[in-house]
Structure 1
Amino acid sequence: MDILNEKTYNAAIYVRLSRDDGDKEESDSILNQKELIREYLKKKSDINICSIKVDDGYSGVDFNRPAFLEMMEDIKAGKINCVVVKDLSRFGRNYIESGKYIQKVFPFLGVRFIAINDNYDSAEGSTITDNIMIPFKNLINDSYCRDSSIKIRSQLEVKRKKGDFIGSFAAYGYKKSGQNKNKLEIDEYAASIVRDIFKWKLEGMSQQGIANKLNQMGILSPMEYKRSLGERYKTTFKVKQQALWSAVAVRRILTNELYIGILEQGKRTTPNYKIKTRIERPKEEWVRVENSHEPIISKELFATVNSLLLHDTRIAPNEETVYLFSGIIACGDCRENMIRKTVPAKDKKYYYYTCSTNRYDKSSCTTHSISEKAFEEAVLLALNVHITSILDIERILNYIDTLPYRQDEILKLDAQIVKAQEELEKFQRYKLISYEHFVDKEITKEEYQEHVKRYNAKIMKAEKLILDRKQEIENIISNKTLTNLWIEHFKKYKNIEKLTRKIVVSLIEKIYVYENGKIDIHFRYQAEYENALRFIDSASKSESFNANAAFKEVI
């Protein structure tokens, strides 16, 4: 039956709004569109309003909109034979798709299409003007959407680089600031859970163990927590009716630099304004801004925990945490991790660490066997000695800070910088003179190249000297502040009586065991420790340094 010959049309009012397209909320609101269309249809006695389809928040580029698809189903079912929109841009902003529906799909299905503000009504017949103007207007709408997309992308990129948060939802542990939605502030309840997760990992728990503990405690997962706050949050990670904590969710938190004040955005994008499928961007293209918000976790703790994630720290059967030295102790020769071995003897058990390589291939490495008890005692002793040494360094540095050494040393380095700068300018001048001689044909090309090569080497040497001296001055000026940071870290653990997993991973990076029983401990902040020793050695050569006074500071 040809429904176009009927005198009465069953119409669907279609309205759409999307700020993604650059639509202005005030002029093109859903309410305004409905009112305008109703007023227009009051004059059309042959049109009955059967339904109103609303796509609020959907881009006009993509026609996979819920209300639009519902309307098309009603059309196919014969319930609707007329579509009325405010204008062509409300119908869609995709030039090709809009033209396909208006000029092919709707005529084929016998559907009357009305765009009020564009003065288009397909029932009144297609004119030459319509055939030209409708595709032209669709093309303009498409171009407008493209230009808006470019502008919006540029604005968002500028905001990202400024450190503004532009996501729809804040990550677990944070919330959008009430004063500025582009700034993050700490959500104290969720932040306390984040701190617990890092603490438990530091104490030796696995990601799955942490997830199980959170679920047992009845702590809502990040998704469920957002929903409990009334946020319309969705994720692809949910597989059950109520999302629970998982090892993946825990690891995601442990590796997220957001918790140390670093905001990383722009990780995903769409190819263009017409394709909404999101793709991953290379890491070098991410926008990374440090100190954009208050951290929940210290950088020191974050670095320690993430170094643990690189080690093989599987939980032993019937244990809740890893062993004391898991992932820390390694063979001094093959550099592979050592494994904990149980040796039963009558009614007792003895524990040893042995090379994992030797266990699977006797010819590749020797056992490097060492008693766990003796090893633990040796490490405890070494830690206490190292911390005592650090405390001595602190006292000497405090004494040096009272001397005129700093100012004298800076003046000396400044003089060296001035001298090097003069040398730099001299050789740059010589290069220019050589070029002039070459142009005047006073020297050959080969001679000129030889001169340039020699002067470039001298220039590079002078530039390096300037950079080195400036770095030395910076080290002298900032030495006390920088020193306090790493020294305070060790001071927290002075007078250790018993080793714990937290102490081991906080103070030690790696321990190597050799076949002859030698133990090589790589402490954390080893570079800072050695820099402090060099600084003290340099200061001791100053005339203002009093060795006896420094010795008294130590004792």
Structure 2
Amino acid sequence: MIEDIESGKINTVITKDLSRLGRDYLQTGYYTEVYFPGKKVRYVAISDGIDTAMGYNEMAPFKNLFNDFYARDISKKIRSTMTTKARAGIYHSTVPPFGYRKSPEDSHKLMPDAETAPIVRRMYELAVQGKGYKAIGNVLKRERIPIPTYWHHVRGERTWTRFKGEGDISNYIWNETTIKWILSHEVYIGSLVAQKQSKLFKVGKNYVKPKDEWVVVKDIFEPIVDLELWERVQEVNGKRRRMCKAKREPSIFSGIAYCPDCGRRISFFPERTGKNNPKKTYFGSCQNYKANGPDGCTPHRIKEQDLYDIVLKDIREWAAMALADEQAVLDRVMEQQQLNSTVDYGLIEGKKRTIKKRLEEIDKVISRLYEDYALGRLAGTSIDNLLPKYQREQEELGKQLSALQEQSAEHDSTEQNAEKWISLIRQYSDLKELNSCIINELITKILVGDKRRVNGEKVQSIEIHYRFIGNLTDGGMEQVNKKSS
């Protein structure tokens, strides 16, 4: 709706009452008193008798405030109810934790699952032997033990969109985070743990509460592992955490660099590049490959500094071009967008002209039919036979024209996005170094291809997807690797 207001398509907004526009009195007040008047948009709240065309309504701010109070009150009551249920030991999540199933007699109670509970016990036994999360995952994969997502999918509890069928290797590739969760959660000793997170009312984001604020009710369910085994595993895990060395700040490409083959992130880790070189160099690699080897994916390995240099150079070049000739860059961007698109916008415009011309002809034909009928030159049976035919054609052409106009609107939106990107990128012509803020402002993702040999040299495809416009190089840039690192 905001996009349509900005483009001038909407000049009136109507809601049943003010609460349907919003319950945050600050945001609602901004729209009714600042944004809508500034855009010359009329706002009507039917039940509250508010119409900005009739002038300012003094009661509107108070109504917004009452709506805000109501939302806060409901939120508090819901939280209070959930806390009360948790303290009473009532389990209310939709899907039970891996290893458990809901009791047939009471869906708010859990009981060990005959098929998956032994898997949980096996994981605890491996952990107490000193095996790490990755090693446990490898053991489970070798033993062809399916992951929790597989069980939820085949039982209809959750849909796994990437399910590739029975026997596929992806059914047995365990995530280290999943293993860590199972080996640390108190539910497996029969405790209900709830209220670990809370939501900020205004912001709408979840945050983790301090541990002393969690609701923990012990001995509610039948345990899968005994308390002694669970505590020994926690002791082993605690030692492992203390042994971990301090890490550097996350890479500026964290959450931006991805593998184009499996869709997992590229994670960056340190390596020594020589026996006599104490300094560590950071390399990126596909998380799936790093965790599961060739069964998961291929390496997609890249030196972090090389990726840094590639991205910095590309931003500088586009910024310099945008400063030198903005129209040329706009044409280039639109040309690439056309290549990336499966739609021929020139063909669309031609079809629109043809349809409009035919609709004009049909209008004239229908007018003549009515005129001939009125003057007695055409019998009633004749007009009954001819008119529906033209009306059906008129209706079908109208639908086709609407669809084509929607595609044209997408093209116009693409040009607006290109102009936004140009005004953004041109600010960085003198960019000296990259940081996370700049990366996230300009780029949505970077796809790091796997290395391959071309004419005896190792090359690697790098696709930079800029905000608003996407990738500007057809198939990505080919990075020639100087060393086989």
TM range (shorter): 0.3 to 0.5
Mark the structure with the bigger radius of gyration.
1
TM-score normalised by structure 2 residue count: 0.43
